[in-house]
Chain A
Amino acid sequence: MLAALRCVIHRDLLLAVRRRSDVLTVLLFFVIVVSLFPLGVGPDPALLRTIAPGVIWVAALLASMLALPRMFASDHADGTLEQMLLGATPLGMTVAAKVLAHWLVAGLPLVLISPVLALQFDFPQEFLGTLTLSLALGTPVLSLIGAIGAALTLGLRGAGALLSLLVLPLYVPVLIIGAGAAESATSGIGGQAQLLLLAAFLVFTGALAPWAAAIALRISAE
């Protein structure tokens, strides 16, 4: 079974490497959205410092949502998904592997570039670690929850806008806790509580979301 998972991850990563522009678009979207805020609210460093975690988190949320339709769409279009539904590997495991591959492609680059963006906002350097760690724990949760939405809207009219309506409300707790981690770190309380909560979200959604997404995929493929 692990061999099958490795195969799915390897295949999805290979496909992503072959179509590099897809990966870069999401990353550039993230960078551009974050850069819009200083232009919109004004370049006051004190203001930017306070809004930095929130802005970076909201942008990460939007960017990871933008990448969601691709999670199953091409497999659905070329029939690979049906083979996965029929295959011997439990569908939940296959979905978990696909989510992991999707996060490595769409989520991890955002996490890695976020410290640079935070510096543009004059965010205190000693708390960059907390911010990056909160994103590293939070963005996989976004991919996991998003997988359910992507599976439910597979092949529907106007799937993109519908997907945002389904998924964004479910993202809200992650956003509040995630942005709260860096904020309470800068205010001196320390962000450990929020980081632990994010880790709990990750364990909870990691256990249940692939299973729910698998059910949703079976419904969509009927």
Chain B
Amino acid sequence: MSGGINWFKYSSPQTFFPLAGKLAFWFGVLALIACAAGLYIGFFAAPTDAQQGEAYRIIFIHVPAAWMSMFLYLVMAFWAGLGLAFNTRLSGMMASALAPTGALFTFLALWTGSLWGKPTWGTWWVWDARLTSELILLFLYFGFMALQAAIDDPRRADKAGAVLALVGVVNIPIIYFSVKWWNTLHQGASVSLTQAPTMAATMFAGMIVMAFGFWFYSIATALMRARCIMLERERASEWVADYAKGSA
């Protein structure tokens, strides 16, 4: 036998359900702490920007939200693809649980970007490459959710959603590299993995802490939603009946 560790212990809804509950709680606590710290750094500790004044402070929400909007789509497509390839029940549930959070962050990124654009660019919206592709990302999330909602059989919904999510993945590199490929209004990235960030250290710290806060929030809400989906789909099983009795 292989090592004695059961790698698939948590791949069944019955064993994952209590674990997801504990994880969701602790990630929720972490998200609260990180967001509170990030907002404090963003609004009180970080200096005023020399060129943009106070308006720049929206980046503490905008940039992490935009990161999460793309990252969550990749995670969703990963789970969806896993479910399609190995026919695992939980993967499809995770993919459906992630979609609303991803759509929320995409909407947040667009909205905060628009609020920032008015004082800085002088317009709420431009048909710039990055804005447009982020808008398409929002439509992709909506399409994914609408397709799953239209199919009654959850297994078919998972698989059909998976095909759509994987087809839509093509859009992610387009968004990410749009500011490099097309030199339109949206500025290039100020933060990258290969060189030092071109901004003050406190601003950078605020953004990173907020990014972690959003990350923890996404994990917590996705797990909460996955718990609801598990209960709904497994409602005929014994463990759900036991759980319902225990909590009543």
Q: Which residues on A are within 8 Å of B, measured CB to CB? A: 148, 152-153, 156-159, 162, 165-166, 168-170, 172-173, 176, 212, 215-216, 219-220, 222
**In contact, B143 and A166 (Cβ under 8 angstroms):** yes
**In contact, A153 and B147 (Cβ under 8 angstroms):** yes
Q: Does B221 contact A (CB under 8 A)?
A: no
With A152-B160, A219-B156, A220-B160: A170-B146 Cβ-Cβ less than 8 Å: no
Complex Cα–Cα for A173 and B136 (A): 10
A148, A172, A220: the one contacting B156 at CB < 8 Å is A220
* Chain A residues positioned under 8 Å from B139 (CB to CB): 165, 168-169
**In contact, A169 and B140 (Cβ under 8 angstroms):** yes
**In contact, B150 and A158 (Cβ under 8 angstroms):** yes
A157, A166, A176, A222: the one contacting B164 at CB < 8 Å is A166
Chain B residue total in the interface (Cβ 8 A): 21
Q: Does B37 contact A (CB under 8 A)?
A: no
**In contact, A169 and B136 (Cβ under 8 angstroms):** yes
**A interface majority secondary structure:** helix
* Chain B residues positioned under 8 Å from A176 (CB to CB): 132
**In contact, A212 and B136 (Cβ under 8 angstroms):** no
* Chain A residues positioned under 8 Å from B155 (CB to CB): 222
* Chain A residues positioned under 8 Å from B132 (CB to CB): 172, 176
- Which residue in chain A gives the minimum CB-CB distance to B158? A219
* Chain B residues positioned under 8 Å from A162 (CB to CB): 146-147, 150
Q: Give me the 4 closest cross-chain CB pairs, A-B, nearest first.
A: A169-B139, A219-B159, A166-B143, A169-B136
Complex Cα–Cα for A166 and B146 (A): 9
24 A-B pairs whose Cβ atoms sit less than 8 Å apart in the complex: A148-B167, A152-B160, A152-B163, A152-B164, A153-B147, A156-B150, A156-B151, A157-B150, A162-B146, A162-B147, A162-B150, A165-B139, A166-B143, A166-B147, A166-B164, A169-B136, A169-B143, A172-B132, A172-B136, A173-B174, A212-B166, A212-B167, A216-B163, A219-B160
* Chain A residues positioned under 8 Å from B136 (CB to CB): 169, 172
- Which residue in chain B gives the minimum CB-CB distance to A164? B143
- Which residue in chain B gives the minimum CB-CB distance to A161? B146
- Which residue in chain B gives the minimum CB-CB distance to A152? B160
